[in-house]
Amino acid sequence: MLFITIVISIPVYGFFIWGLYEPEEAILFMEKWRYKEQPEFSNMQMKLYKLGNICGIILLTLYIMGVGYNTFF
């Protein structure tokens, strides 16, 4: 179970990290076709998106640690 969790979490970590460095691109991932022009995002929206990514990284790490603990103990 631990191996499957780690393998599946690698792309999720990648998306979270990408969202920290390129939040506008991550928000518009697979959604650009809807807009004729590049939409503008507020600073608050960018901060909340980055905060969500940080929380996601922390929660995913805690989940992996929990699965690892249950696997070995």
Q: Summarize pLDDT for 16-70 with one digit per residue, the tens.
A: 999 999 999 999 999 988 999 989 999 999 999 999 999 999 999 999 999 999 9
- Digit-coded pLDDT (tens) for 41-53: 999 999 999 999 9
Would you state the structure tokens that stand for residue 39, as one six-digit string?
């939409």
Q: Cβ(60)–Cβ(16) under 8 Å?
A: yes
Confidence of residue 15 (pLDDT cuts 50, 70, 90): very high
- Residue 63's pLDDT is 97
Q: What would you report as the CA-atom Rg of the chain, rounded to the nearest whole angstrom?
A: 16
Distance CA 10, CA 49 (A): 20
Q: Cβ(72)–Cβ(35) under 8 Å?
A: no
Residue whose pair of structure tokens reads 């960018």 in the numeric block: 46
Would you state the structure tokens that stand for residue 19, as one six-digit string?
């969202």
- Residue 21's pLDDT is 95
